[in-house]
Amino acid sequence: MREQLNELKQSALSAIENADDIKTLEEARVAFLGKKGSLTAVLKQMGTLSAEERPVMGALANEIREAFEGGYSAKIETLKNAELFARIESEKLDVTLPGVRRRMGTRHPLNIVLDELKGIFTSMGYTMVYGPEVEETKYVFDLLNTFEGHPARDEQDTFYVDDSTVLRTQTSSVQIRTMMERKPPIAVISPGRVYRCDEADSTHSPIFHQCEGLFVDKGVTFADLKGTLETFFKRLYGDSVKLRFRPHHFPYTEPSAEVDLSCFKCGGGGCSFCKGEGWIEMLGCGMVHPQVLRNCGIDPDEYSGFAFGVGIERITLMRYEIDDMRLLYENDMRFLRQFA
Ligand code: DAH
């Protein structure tokens, strides 16, 4: 048995020696010390030994097991370190590799123009106000002198939610809300979405954007309106742009006007963009009707004001020479990236 044990010791120690990964080392341990291991098998034969031999062999077997365990723990330490080192080597970060490009979004052309518009009017002392898109008819129509039966209320070109609620057709509703809430002087602009039952084509969309402007104070005149709009459009399009005020009718202003701009493409000579007119219609405006002021609790003998409403799509199309309004809503990246 002594021989058997010594042989076992040799083969077990060389198994440790030769194991070059943790798995092989573990297998060697099981093969030697496990339930069915070789040392265990030898120890099972102890019963056949004489009483004198037994403690001697027992001591030898223990010594061998200790030798094995010592060799085993030293080796496992070495192998673990080697594995860790290999992992660190293989996972190391190469900061010189090219990065992954993240695609940034771009501002939508309507927002670019709107931001510019806000900038120009805030620099003239205006503040921003907002109103609901689902609005009571009294704010969209009645209090703007557009009573029941007026053509502007025709259900055919308006989305009604019920008899007294509409998707607002114009931002002029915010004039009323503002004048009912504040005392003059009032200088506000109100950008936002509006809705009309229009078929979509190159110049129409059932949803579009307007910006309303309102200035009410003592002694405000039509000259103030002209000067304000002229300043606005020159800042937006450059000093060479010309404005033309044409008499018009809106129920909520008196007098009322529509404003045309000289065509940015031909400068006024007439081209396909302005349909040979030389002018492009830009907005509606006028002096706030005395009855509208009265409707909102403002005394027209003391105060006067002007108002205007401008289409943001229209400004944008002209600004970037875009010939079809639908491009603004289609989310075609090839189009949108051009405004980066
Ligand atoms: N609300 C008009 C429209 O949608 C535009 C407009 C005209 C607004 C005259 C006004 C105004 O404030 O005074 O066409």
User: Both ends of the chain: CA-CA distance in Å?
Assistant: 88
**Structure confidence by residue, pLDDT tens digits, 45-102:** 888 888 888 888 888 888 888 888 888 888 888 889 988 988 888 888 888 888 888 8
Percent helix / strand / coil, the chain, rounded to 5: 45, 20, 35
Residue pair 174/131 in contact (Cβ under 8 Å)? The answer is yes
Asked if residue 340 has pLDDT above 70, the reply is yes
Helix count (H) and strand count (E) of the chain? 11, 10
234 confidence band (pLDDT: 50, 70, 90): very high
**Structure confidence by residue, pLDDT tens digits, 5-52:** 888 888 888 888 888 888 888 888 888 888 888 888 887 888 888 888
Residue pair 173/140 in contact (Cβ under 8 Å)? The answer is yes
Q: What is the pLDDT of residue 74?
A: 87
Which amino acid type is present at position 160? Y
What Rg do the C-alpha atoms of the chain give, in angstroms? 44
CA of 123 to the centre of ligand 1 (A): 22
Strands 127-128 and 186-195: parallel
Which amino acid type is present at position 186? I
Kindly tell me the sign of the dihedral angle through the C-alpha atoms of 202, 207, 208, 214: positive
Q: By C-alpha distance, which of 78, 81, 43 is closest to 63?
A: 43
**Structure confidence by residue, pLDDT tens digits, 171-192:** 999 999 999 999 999 999 999 9
**Structure confidence by residue, pLDDT tens digits, 191-211:** 999 999 988 988 889 999 999
Q: What is the pLDDT of residue 206?
A: 94
In whole angstroms, what is the distance from residue 119 CA to residue 125 CA? 10
Asked if residue 155 has pLDDT above 80, the reply is no
* Mean pLDDT, residues 283-291: 98
Main-chain phi, psi angles of 220, to 5 degrees: -75, 135
Strand (E) or helix (H) holding 60:
helix 53-90
Of residues 13 and 169, the one with the higher pLDDT is 169
pTM assigned to the model: 0.71
Report residues whose beta carbon is within 6 angstroms of any ligand 1 atom.
170, 172, 212, 250, 253, 284-286, 307-309
Per-residue 3-state assignment (H helix, E strand, C coil) for 113-162: HHHHHHHHHHHCCCEECCCCCEEEHHHHCHHHCCCCCCHHHCHHHCCEEE
Q: By C-alpha distance, which of 185, 191, 143 is closest to 309?
A: 191
Q: Which tokens in the block code for residue 289?
A: 């009707």
Shortest-distance atom of ligand 1 to CA 213: 12
* Mean pLDDT, residues 102-119: 93
Residues 6+ apart with CB under 8 A from 1: 42, 45, 49, 53, 57
CA of 184 to the centre of ligand 1 (A): 20
Burial call 177-215: b when 16+ CB within 10 Å, e when fewer: bbbeeeebebbbbbbbebbbeeeeeeeebeebbbbbbbb
Strand (E) or helix (H) holding 87:
helix 53-90
Main-chain phi, psi angles of 318, to 5 degrees: -70, -40
**Residue of 146, 209, 250 to mutate, ligand 1, most atoms within 8 A of C-beta:** 250
Q: What is the pLDDT of residue 63?
A: 86
Instruction: Report the nearest-CA residue for atom 7 of ligand 1.
Output: 284
Shortest-distance atom of ligand 1 to CA 212: 12
Asked if residue 156 has pLDDT above 70, the reply is no
CA of 94 to the centre of ligand 1 (A): 62
> For 191-205, 259-273, 296-310, which range has the lowest pLDDT when averaged over its residues?
259-273
CA atoms within 13 A on the CB side of 41: 9
Q: What is the pLDDT of residue 223?
A: 98
**Residue of 169, 171, 172 to mutate, ligand 1, most atoms within 8 A of C-beta:** 172
**Residue of 143, 169, 173, 252 to mutate, ligand 1, most atoms within 8 A of C-beta:** 252
- CA–chain centroid gap for 34, Å, is 63
* DSSP assignment letter at 195: E
Q: Residue 248 in 3-state DSSP?
A: strand
